[in-house]
Structure 1
Amino acid sequence: MNSINYLFLVFALLAEIIGTIGGFGSSVFFVPLGNFYFDFHTVLGLTAVFHLSSNLSKIMLFKKGLNKQLLLYIGLPSVVFVIIGGILSKYLNTLFLEIALGIFLIALSLLFLIKQKLVIEPNKKNSITGGILSGFSAGLLGTGGAIRGLTMAAFNLEKSVFIATSAAIDMMIDSTRTIVYFQNGYITKDILIYIPFLFIIGLIGTYLGKRILHYIPQDKFKNLSLVLILIIGLITLGKQFI
């Protein structure tokens, strides 16, 4: 990786904008797209670094309060299980991980498209379960924001509080998995050149996403995002068998 891939950076910006508007987070797009340019473990390292700046910008732009209860019930289990998922990613074959990612994206998108009125009961048990699943998938596959989003949606939070709380939990997850991925050897000197670019993209993408939210209803854009996730999932799965 001797030179910067600018097309990859363009996709990173699009992933951040769409992820912000759709409410799923950028990693659900960033990880599968990144796999077309880098190996899976490198993409995990890039995702963790990218998300640190992305979530910091969300917290700054949507700073209208945090839900401390969800930070505890979802955030803490997420941190514990992102460590477990991150460690396991080192020992599982990358082909298996990419297939699992494709299946995860397809299943996730179909679930939301078919069960549009899906609601999780807002209680402590479901919050902890959502934290465990989102943290584990974030550590193992690089993306878990959609699971966390589904869990948090049950509490009917005001939009800014929802995004700020989700970003704060994501910050906890990404700070933790960055350490795990670094110890795994995923964050190498070769990818450090991308860090300033991804930091700027995180700020710009989140800002643009926030601006677009004023003009496009999130529920309508969410369906478009789901179709894109389905297509990306099918491509991710299909390219493993070509």
Structure 2
Amino acid sequence: MEYILIPIVALLASALTFFSGFGLGTLLLPALALFFPVDVAIALTAIVHFLNNAFKFVLVKKHIVWKIVLQFGLPALLFSFLGALLLDKITYATIIAEYTINNSVFQITIMKSIVAILLIFFALFELLPKLKNLQFPEKYLPIGGILSGFFGGLSGHQGALRSAFLTKVGLSKEAFIATGVSIACLIDISRISVYFTNISKVKDNLNINLVIIATLAAFIGVYIGNKLIKKITINTVQKIVALMIIVFAIALGFGIV
């Protein structure tokens, strides 16, 4: 069953998140967790996520705005480590509510609530007419990188914040996608280095064949997304990002992801 469900999720999520710049891991991890222990699922997701971003990078690298990668990506990289260092001390100590549905326990934490509020705030910039044309000056890019990196290291949810911020700096649709992918690759490399110990611990349980199949399915999704990008406008991309951010923020706020 996992050889059917997981590749389908990987393909659809990869095609959809090609435009938004986030969400593959969010959708793929729960699917993998249905069939594997959580630590194995996290390792599998990390590998597929990194390979998928690397493939995206090859396809769209000519559109990367390297100045923004440096201004946004480097602070994100540095502060992701800081967030990761604080993870054990803060995340589990800030549970404000807990509930159960069908024997599954969901926790609402202060950190997730803060990220959810930030995400909805950014999403409103894409949906409210008075705010839609507002753009952030480049001098604020490091602040966006700090927020994205810090909360990414702390809770793993840096992609949505990154996309929310990059949609407001005046990039074309191609540059938005390519620049976001390059920053995501930087974060993935740092995450893989942190996860390496855990991956080595569970390597005997890793299903390499499933990793290959899921990665190939994700590659197909990227290919489809890359073809579709020529047929849509930056306004469509921004709306996709905004709607996905709101859905993600609600799920995050209620402890579902």
TM-score (norm 1): 0.76
Which of the numbers 44, 47, 50 marks the counterpart of 1:49? 47
1:173 Cα deviation from its structure 2 partner:
0.7
Unaligned 5+ segments in structure 2 are 96-105
Matches within 5 A, 1:37-186: 37=34, 44-90=42-88, 92-93=91-92, 96=95, 99-100=108-109, 103=113, 106-107=116-117, 110-116=120-126, 117=131, 119-124=134-139, 126-183=140-197
Which of the numbers 197, 204, 216 marks the counterpart of 2:220? 204
**Does 2:22 correspond to 1:25?**
yes
- The root-mean-square deviation of aligned C-alpha atoms, in Å, is 3.6
Aligned length: 236
Structure 1 pair 17–25 and aligned structure 2 pair: CA distance change class (3 A): same
Structure 1 pair 200–165 and aligned structure 2 pair: CA distance change class (3 A): same
Structure 1 pair 129–229 and aligned structure 2 pair: CA distance change class (3 A): closer
Distance in 2 of aligned mates of 1:94 and 1:12 = 33
Conserved in 2, the CA contact under 8 Å of 1:82 and 1:139? yes
Structure 1 pair 216–80 and aligned structure 2 pair: CA distance change class (3 A): same
Conserved in 2, the CA contact under 8 Å of 1:53 and 1:198? no
Letter of the structure 1 residue corresponding to residue 137 of structure 2 = P
Structure 1 pair 236–122 and aligned structure 2 pair: CA distance change class (3 A): closer
Q: Which runs of 4+ in 1 moved over 6 A?
A: none
Aligned residue in 1 for 2:98: none
Aligned residue in 1 for 2:100: none
Deviations 1:131-151 (A, max 9, x none): 111122222332312222233
Distance in 2 of aligned mates of 1:89 and 1:6 = 34
1:164 Cα deviation from its structure 2 partner:
1.9
Conserved in 1, the CA contact under 8 Å of 2:14 and 2:219? no
The structure where strand makes up a greater share of residues is: 2
Unaligned 5+ segments in structure 1 are none
Query: Which structure has the bigger radius of gyration?
Result: 2
Distance in 1 of aligned mates of 2:115 and 2:178 = 24
1:52 Cα deviation from its structure 2 partner:
1.3
